[in-house]
Every structure is written in structure tokens, then in C-alpha cells.
Amino acid sequence: MRRSILVSSFLVLALAAPIAAVRAQEHTMAAPASEKKVTLQGEVLDMACFVAHNGQGPSHAACAVKCLKGGQPMGLLAKDGTVYLLFADHADATAYDKTKELGGKNVEIQGELASKGTFKGITVDSVKPL
């Protein structure tokens, strides 16, 4: 009896392992979110103030810069009204860090657009004030 339970357990594990491996591989091979190079113009946002109390514009610029330097999430309110979350490039965050200084101001951002469902973001490659 003990031996049949042991053999049965071994067979279950032996059959389950390949299934788990295939599922893990499917997860790592999932199609990437859509990505493409874009150039967009709009206002640099401190997302915490923008979402919580519509903090934006020149009157909010000093607060936006302070919040962005303090680590709040950063976004771009594009001219068409779309809000994008901004990301630092893992290899070189220089442009992203420069963007923090431009909170509340209109800029032109070039970078890589990524989206997942209705969520959109941009990895900042370059920024210039307008």
C-alpha cells in the first residue's frame, strides 16, 4: 500500500513537472506590449497632484518639480488629452532625470511608446522645453 502511494505520487510529480515548465516558458515568451518610437508634445505632470487634485499648469510648476524630485510618478499630458506615464531608460536615465526639472512646463519628448490594455507609457530618450 505504502509503495503504491509512493509510486502514484512520483507519477503525478513526473507528469506535472513538464506542464509547469511549458507554462513558465509561455509566460516568458508572451508577446511584448506594443512598442514604437514617438515624439509627443505636452505638459510634464506630477501624477500624484494631477490625479488627486488636478494639479497642473504654470501655477503648479514649482510644486510639480518638488514632487517629481521627491520621487512622485511623472507623466505627460499630451496635446490630445492623453496622459502617458513616463519611464526612465534602464541604460541611461539622463533624459528622464532632466524631465523632472520641467514639471508644469510644456515639452517635446521622444521615446519608446509602450502600452498594455488602456495603459500607455513612454521610455524617455530625449526631452526639450517648448
Contact 122, 87 (CB under 8 A): yes
State which amino acid sits at residue 11.
Answer: L
User: 77-125: per-residue pLDDT in tens?
Assistant: 999 999 999 999 999 999 999 999 999 999 999 999 999 999 999 999 9
Question: How many domains, the chain?
Answer: 2
Q: Which of 102, 111, 60, 63 is nearest to 84 (CA)?
A: 111
Quick one: 24 and 43 in the same domain? no
Q: Same domain for 38 and 85?
A: yes
User: Looking at the structure, do residues 39 and 23 belong to the same domain, yes or no?
Assistant: no
Residues 7 and 53 reside in one and the same domain = no
Residues 24 and 82 in one domain: no
- Domain holding 21, by residue range, is 1-30
**pTM recorded for the entire structure:** 0.73
Residue 2 predicted with pLDDT over 70: no
Residue 123: CATH number of its domain:
2.40.50
Q: pLDDT for 3-56, tens place per residue?
A: 555 444 444 444 444 544 444 444 444 445 556 999 999 999 999 999 999 999
In angstroms, the CA 107 to CA 124 distance is 12
C-alpha cell at 26: 509561455
Same domain assignment for residues 38 and 81: yes
